[in-house]
């Protein structure tokens, strides 16, 4: 109990820190710490899948995106400090509004009625028919597969807009290379291990917490490491291959989903007897495509005007 109060307090403290610190760089670092604390909170809420996802995507990838953006924005110190808040009247009003919202929310939380329908029991009953043992993967990829389909489309849209804006102005690609021999040597060992972890995460997704999104996040982290250390990523420069890679995840998901539909059955109902196999195939395609999508969210960011931030020291 004390641990929960402590963790909750730390979470709120970090969140307040993110909003109140003057220096932008410090608030981004605090934001990454907030993401890691959130991962801990998800463990306390008995949601291991979410802890994995939050750590890999929430803190990891979002943190990298923010740091990368920050590096390109090179905030001029003076402006950052002075214009932090709006006029006192508006900030007072906003503060009152926030207090009101907290009060209303807490009142609603305390008074929330007991639900009539109990979904956990229904999920357990239907688990066998879904073809997967792990309830969360069952919900994600068979009961509510439609949500996951649309969610992959959402990421694809984000990447398409990134590509559209990136190439709409002719600017050189962002070289954020960190030239250090230790990194190169270490990667020789790290990359195969990360690949193995990604495949392991994908495989256990069907009976324990893991799955396509967490595995894809590890793949994306691998690609970011390779990009930062300058090791060439196979087929990276070839835009055509990139586009095909982006499309294959959603495409396979749609195709497999409508196999049953074409034969008179139901959309997103996996073929009889082949549920586990088709879910695994879809998860594999999703992992590959999502890994590429998450990486191109990092990659597709427009380049800065001047040379980029980290030029390794005299190594």
Partner 1 sequence: MLIDLLRSLLILVGAAFFLVGTLGLLRFPDAPTRIHALTKVDNLGLGLIVLGLLPGVASWPVVFKMILIWLLAIAAASLAGHLVVQAWAGSQNKETSSRDS
Partner 2 sequence: MNTFFIYALTGGLLSSLGLLGFILHRHLLRRLMAFNLMGSGCFLILTGLSQSHQGVDAVPQALVLTGIVVAVSATALALVLIRRWYHLTGQTSLPEDVQSLEKTSSKEAQG
Partner 3 sequence: MSSLLQELPQLLPWLVILPLFWALFSLALGVLYRHWIAGVFIFLLLATNLILIGQWLLLGDLYYSLGDWDVPLGIQLRLDGVALAMVTVTSLVTAACSLHASTYLDDYPRAQQYFWPLLAFTWASLNVIWLSADLFNLYVGLELLGLSAVGLVALTGQTEALGAALRYLYAALLGSLAYLLGVALIYSGYGQLDLPALSGLLESDASTRLALALMTLGLLLKTAIFPLHIWLPPAHGKALPPVSALLSALVVKASFYILVRLWLEAGLQVVVPSAAQFMGALGAGAVFWGGWMAWRQTELKMLVAYSTVAQLGYLMLIFPLMVGVSPTAAQLAWEGGWLQLIAHALAKAAMFLAAGNLVLAMRRPDIIGLHGVGRFLPFSLLGFGLAGVSIMGLPPSGGFMAKWLLLQSALASGQWWWLLVLAGGSALSAVYIFKVYQQCYIEDTEVDNFRHPSLLLDLSSITLALLALSLGIFSAWPQALLATALSGGGV
Q: Which residues contact 84 (CB under 8 A, 6 or more apart)?
A: 22
Give the pair of three-digit tokens for residue 142. Answer: 């068979």
| Contacts with partner 2, 220-259, as mask; x by CB under 8 A | ----------------------------------------
Contact 246, 289 (CB under 8 A): yes
Residue 306 CA: distances (Å) to CA of 74, 172, 313: 10, 10, 18
Is 119 a residue that touches partner 2 (CB under 8 A)? yes
DSSP letters of 200-244? HHHHHTTTSS--HHHHHHHHHHHHHHHHHHTPPPTT-S-HHHHHH
**End-to-end CA separation in angstroms for the chain:** 50
196 contact, one of partner 3, partner 2, partner 1, none, CB 5-8 Å limit per kind: none
CB 137 within 8 A of CB 279: yes
Site for partner 1 in 185-224 (CB under 8 A): 186, 189-190, 193
Residue 36 CB, shortest distance to partner 3, in Å, is 22
Site for partner 3 (CB under 8 A): how many residues? 55
From 191, 188, 218, 189, select the one nearest 203 (Cα to Cα): 218
Identify what 311 binds: partner 2, partner 1, partner 3, none; CB under 5 to 8 Å per kind. partner 1
Closest approach, Cβ 72 to partner 2, in A, equals 6
Distance CA(262)–CA(269), nearest Å, equals 11
Answer for the pair 290, 246: CB distance below 8 angstroms, yes or no.
Answer: no
Task: Identify what 146 binds: partner 1, partner 3, partner 2, none; CB under 5 to 8 Å per kind.
Answer: partner 3
CB of 35 to partner 3, least distance (A): 17
Whole-number minimum distance, CB 312 to partner 1, in Å?
Answer: 6
Binding mask 115-154 for partner 3 (x = CB under 8 A): xxxxx--xx--x---------------xxxxxx-xxx-xx
Site string for partner 2, 130-169 (x = CB under 8 A): -----xx-xxx---x--xx--x--xx-xxx-xx--xx--x
Task: Name the residues that contact partner 1, by CB under 8 A.
Answer: 178, 180, 182-183, 186, 189-190, 193, 310-315
């Amino acid at each position: 109990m004390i641990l929960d109060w402590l963790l909750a307090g730390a979470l709120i403290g970090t969140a307040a820190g993110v909003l109140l610190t003057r220096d932008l760089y410090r608030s981004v670092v605090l934001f990454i710490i907030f993401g890691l604390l959130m991962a801990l909170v998800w463990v306390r809420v008995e949601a291991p899948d979410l802890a994995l996802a939050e750590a890999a995507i929430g803190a990891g990838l979002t943190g990298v995106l923010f740091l990368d953006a920050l590096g390109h924005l090179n905030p001029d110190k003076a402006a950052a400090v002075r214009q932090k808040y709006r006029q006192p009247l508006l900030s007072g009003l906003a503060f009152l509004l926030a207090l009101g919202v907290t009060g209303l929310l807490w009142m609603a939380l305390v008074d929330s009625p007991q639900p009539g329908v109990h979904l956990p029991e229904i999920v357990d009953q239907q688990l066998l028919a879904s073809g997967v043992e792990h309830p969360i993967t069952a919900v994600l990829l068979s009961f509510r597969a439609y949500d996951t389909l649309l969610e992959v489309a959402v990421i694809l849209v984000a990447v398409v807009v990134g590509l559209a804006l990136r190439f709409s102005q002719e600017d050189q690609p962002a070289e954020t290379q960190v030239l250090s021999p230790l990194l190169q040597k270490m990667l020789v060992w790290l990359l195969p291990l990360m690949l193995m972890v990604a495949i392991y995460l994908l495989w256990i997704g069907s009976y324990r917490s893991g799955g396509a999104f967490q595995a894809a996040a590890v793949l994306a982290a691998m690609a970011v490491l390779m990009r930062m250390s300058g090791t060439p990523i196979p087929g990276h420069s070839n835009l055509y291959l990139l586009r095909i890679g982006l499309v294959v995840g959603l495409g396979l998901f749609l195709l497999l989903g409508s196999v049953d539909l074409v034969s008179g059955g139901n959309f997103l109902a996996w073929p009889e007897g082949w549920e586990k196999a088709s879910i695994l195939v879809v998860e594999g395609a999703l992992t590959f495509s999502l890994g590429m999508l998450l990486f191109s969210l990092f990659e597709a960011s427009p380049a800065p005007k001047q040379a980029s931030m980290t030029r390794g020291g005299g190594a």
